[in-house]
Amino acid sequence: MKSPKYLGSVKDMKRREKRAFDTEGMWHDQMSDVYEYFLPQRNLFETQNTGQKKMDRIFDSTSLTAIQQAASKLQENIAPIQARWAAFQPSNEVLELLEQGDVGVTEQQVRENLDKQGAIVFDYINRSNFGTQFYEAALDLLIGTATLRIDETDDDMNPIVFHCIPQKGIAFEEGPFGNIETHWRRFSVKARLLERMWRGVEVSETVRAIIENSPDADLKVSEGVVFEPKAKRYYGCLWVNDEDRFSWIEDFGETSPWVTGRYTKVAGEVRGRGPAMQCLPDVRSLNKAKEFVLQKAAIDLAGMYTATDDGVTNPYNLTIAPGVVIPVGSNNTSNPSIMRLDTGTNLGLAQFEITELQNAIKLALFNDLRDPAGPVRTATEIAIESRELAKRIGSAFGRLQTEVLIPILKRVVSILTRRGLIMPIELDGKDVEVKFTSPLARAQDGEDLLSLQQAVQFVAANAGPDLIATSFKIEDFGSYVAEKTGMSSELVRSDTEKQQAIQAGAQQAMAQQQPQMPPQQPQLQAVE
């Protein structure tokens, strides 16, 4: 298969892939460790068999439940299920053109049209499997890095499907500004599924023979989605069983089907670091402390015993375990044949340390806030919790918007536009801006509204209420509040409608101020 003009040769792609996976290998031990303690069921960094036990070395489940609750909080506050967590708005450049009046449409018409297009976009997102896959991505994100793949289907009712890709077997390349531009993936595929997974795949005669004669055999696949800056496009490429030829190439256009986000990032590193990775020492300590406590409890229940022995006891052969019998030369003065050994350890201090470690882990993963699966909360309680969460993850939320949420919207819009399901939308800030309306975004906007309220109250208290109208653009307060609260543009007056309402109000006020003439009495004329 011939590669496009700007896509390198197979040799070039293999060299880039190897370099990316060499860097990825440096993270292997750390990723295996953190996944073992937080998400053992998703730990694929060690050789695992299907159905293999993965929790035999876990003695305390605090980290497991804490990260699950934290992922639920992230989803609830960033991209809630069956909700519209973003809106499309005209950019400042478009608003300036609309003010000039040379485009033939009004600002209100533009806003209403963008609202309709946004409603369609989120209708398709919500009818897909986005909710379940984003939750799994949130779990990986709390470790440090999460990857979603957004594919197009043949189903017109559900043209979009999301996949949360496990972190084992994928590698990344950054662009010049620290954003992830290229994704590489190594994995195995059943021979009979190869042609179903990649449309238009062209295999060699060797691979064709494997497909026909051994359909259940595993084929080693290397897949890449590469950004080519000269073409400003993303290209997908694939080679099978390390052959020196492309078996599949696809032009994805200006959006990549791969979306990778990092919770936080250290300079010089490609992968991200999350709160789970930061509190890993506490989790290790807690797990070991809990193991000792359980061992002590087992010994206290089953006991250990000493038994008289005429021989000499070898201390190197002694076993410390519940129910063990230790041979000794004599059992004190009464010298019974067998006697229970007093372990004499107080677990009070150990239990105190365990509680402290559990609280530290819960704090790191936002579990000190209320459980989203708990009792029904009021709108005020939800807003307060969202503001507190916004303070905790402030900078991380900005990165998630840039690396996860906006690329998801761009990819979905690209698919729906190509299918003719929505009108063309350019989410580049020049034509259309994305306004996030999730609870976490509204919590940050709530701080702006609180600042506005405090400013108005301060002016009114110190300079008098009359100065408010001269100090602030009161006529724009409504639009500002509507924007910060995510109110639909259909409920907000346009600038023209606003001016008309102001003029009508002024005329009504003037009419009310005019003195009312008393009704004239009819004059009676004398009858001659």
Closest CA to 308 of 288, 333, 290: 333
CA angle (212 as vertex; 211, 218 as ends), nearest 5: 30
Please tell me the predicted confidence (pLDDT) of residue 465.
75
Residue-wise pLDDT for 442-477, tens only, equals 877 776 777 777 777 777 777 777 777 777 777 777
Please tell me the predicted confidence (pLDDT) of residue 498.
67
Please tell me the predicted confidence (pLDDT) of residue 211.
94
Please tell me the predicted confidence (pLDDT) of residue 390.
76
Phi, psi angles (nearest 5°) of residue 179: -85, 145
What type of residue is 377? R
Residue-wise pLDDT for 284-300, tens only, equals 999 998 888 887 777 77
Spatial neighbors of 528 by CB under 8 A, at least 6 apart, are none
Please tell me the predicted confidence (pLDDT) of residue 57.
81
Q: How many Cβ atoms sit within 10 Å of the Cβ of residue 318?
A: 11
Do the Cβ atoms of 144 and 274 come closer than 8 Å? yes
Please tell me the predicted confidence (pLDDT) of residue 377.
62
Please tell me the predicted confidence (pLDDT) of residue 470.
72
Mean pLDDT of all residues in the chain?
A: 83
Please tell me the predicted confidence (pLDDT) of residue 367.
87
Please tell me the predicted confidence (pLDDT) of residue 325.
67
**Can you give the C-alpha Rg of the chain in angstroms?**
33
Give, for 248, the enclosing helix (H) or strand (E). Answer: strand 248-253
What type of residue is 17? E
Q: Give the C-alpha separation, 485 to 446, whole Å.
A: 8
CA angle (447 as vertex; 441, 452 as ends), nearest 5: 130
Half-sphere exposure of 345 (CA within 13 A, CB side): 16
DSSP letter for 229, please. Answer: T
Give the ranges where 256-405 is alpha helix by DSSP (H).
Answer: 275-278, 280-302, 348-364, 379-400
User: Which residues, given as ranges, of the chain have pLDDT below 70?
Assistant: 1-4, 46-53, 302-349, 369-383, 447, 479, 483-496, 498, 513-528
Please tell me the predicted confidence (pLDDT) of residue 459.
74
Task: Put residue 105 in one of left, alpha, beta given phi > 0 → left and psi -120 to 50 → alpha.
Answer: beta
Q: Give the C-alpha separation, 342 to 338, whole Å.
A: 13
- For 328, the token pair is 């000794």
Do the Cβ atoms of 248 and 201 come closer than 8 Å? yes
- For 229, the token pair is 């800056």
Do the Cβ atoms of 313 and 291 come closer than 8 Å? no
Please tell me the predicted confidence (pLDDT) of residue 528.
43
Closest CA to 183 of 261, 297, 119, 118: 261
DSSP letter for 273, please. Answer: B
Phi, psi angles (nearest 5°) of residue 483: -65, -45
